[in-house]
Amino acid sequence: MFISSLGLLAFVAYTQAANLTVLSTAMTPNGFHNAARGWNSFGIQANSATTPSWGEFNQGNVTRQCDVLAQPHFKAAGYQYCSLDSGWSLDEGDNNGRLLYDPSLFDLPAFAEHLHRKGLLLGVYVLPGALCDDGNKTILGTNVQLKSTFNGNNDGFLRCDFDFSKPGVQEWHDSVIHLFASWGVDLVKVDFVTPGSPDNGANLVVDNSGAVVAYHKAIAKASRPMRLDISWKLERNNTYYDIWRANANTMRTDQDINNSGKSTFVEWATVQRAIENYRQYIVLQIPKDQPLSIYPDMDNLYAGNSAKITGVSDSMRETIMSHWLGAAANLITGSDLTNLDNLGVKLLTSQTGIAIADFAAKYLMQPRNPGSGGTDAKQLQAWIAGPDLKAGQAIVILANYGPDQGQGGFSTQLAGKQKVSISLEDLGLGSGPAFNVENVWSGKSSVIERGGSLSESLAEGESVLLKLSLR
């Protein structure tokens, strides 16, 4: 589409005059320019009733899920990572205290080779610390026994935490990552990182952030590129955020969102909470006015299966997908990939939708309250990603989250359909240029004239994802 130089200059001038700090991104510490896309096993592991064909967590069942990612439409959308959650490893390490896969469930080198042949990548899950029972073993390449590096805390998951000031701690992390690289691992997820992770029945130390630093240093020495993703609901103050953004590729902004032990994957109250936690996180970044070098992880993406299996309506599934796209969050689905419906395939693989993810990977979305342009939690909310001044484009979401179900942050209880309207000025786009507007999911197009507003009548949990292009 041709944009006149006069129109572009006007757009730049109006935008710069508006109260909008565009949130842009920089390369992550391990060399990536977007969040990971793929599949993770935890949703089905924790909600096995959603997937009767699952059986147990083993290589065969995981392979059936991840082979779907090798289909052309998934590969074209950038889905690569087949990520194993908790349960793949043994409770005892090798002679040097390094983690080992359970051979009754997985042959990770063979599995990685299978994935790599299909153009896919392997992710594994770990916890901070080393297995307590390996304390008498000597760290590879040293004469240091593991138990001499422990700080005295058993976290309740068979692991003892490190004193990161002790010699041998970095060497142990180096040896683990070296082993992972030899297997063909491409992503490491470190869970129960503190400060941040709720105890959830564990005995967590107040601060094990040193594990993030140690794994990052080890990955920098590895023989193959690896992502480092950290979890969950991590501390956002500047002290620890600076550690996360200097060492990891994504950080979890919320708790698990799945319905553990139930017959559906997710419920709407938890989605409200996940969106609110992203809002809290991103609002803290606005006044810093600097590129973000870490991406948010809003937890697994549950949008691929029918409403009956997912647990929320089809319009809510669209809303979930739109927000994960706009936030440039991990597009790591937890859905049953062997039982996708037509809407699920569309949401996950639409090239128009993936283009939104690619845009947001450069410009993350932020809230803009209808009527004020503020950043508060609202039931009737608007978001903007960008604008990209050079291309003359921005992404906008209008949403009605429905009555607050307890953790949405907005507290209002507006029932039924509601009109959501926001002016270009409140979006931070000024009152100047006009825009072509494309509804990403319906494909419908319209025009918003200069100084105008975007308006939609939206049911509870419904939203619209809009691409704005300067006329």
Domain ranges for the chain, please list them.
5-20+368-470, 37-363
DSSP for 204-239, written as a single string: --S--THHHHHHHHHHHTSSS--EEEE-SS---SHH
Alpha carbon 403 to chain centroid, angstroms: 25
Structure tokens at 91: 């409770």
Catalytic residue among 174, 191, 229, 336: 191
- 256 classed as catalytic: yes
> How many Cα atoms are found within 13 Å in the side-chain-facing hemisphere of 58?
8
As a whole number of angstroms, the distance between CA 60 and CA 53 comes to 11
As a whole number of angstroms, the distance between CA 139 and CA 194 comes to 24
Structure tokens at 458: 């939206």
When computed from its CA atoms, the radius of gyration of the chain, rounded to whole angstroms, is: 23
Topology (CATH level 3) of domain 5-20+368-470: Immunoglobulin-like (2.60.40)
- 191 classed as catalytic: yes
As a whole number of angstroms, the distance between CA 157 and CA 287 comes to 39
> How many Cα atoms are found within 13 Å in the side-chain-facing hemisphere of 52?
1
pLDDT of residue 3: 46
Topology (CATH level 3) of domain 37-363: TIM Barrel (3.20.20)
Cross-sheet strand order for the sheet of 159-162: 130-131, 159-162, 150-154
Walk along the chain (471 residues) in steps of 10 and give the mean pLDDT of each run.
46 59 97 98 97 96 98 98 98 98 98 98 98 98 98 96 98 98 98 91 94 98 97 97 98 96 96 98 96 98 98 98 98 98 98 98 98 97 97 97 98 98 95 92 96 97 98 92
Give the predicted TM-score (pTM) of the model: 0.96
DSSP for 164-212, written as a single string: TTSTTHHHHHHHHHHHHHHHTEEEEEE-S-TTT---TTS---S--THHH
pLDDT of residue 63: 98
pLDDT of residue 17: 43
Residue 74, phi then psi, degrees to nearest 5: -75, -40
As a whole number of angstroms, the distance between CA 170 and CA 34 comes to 27
pLDDT of residue 15: 52
Catalytic residue among 256, 297, 299, 404: 256
Contact 318, 463 (CB under 8 A): yes
pLDDT of residue 340: 98
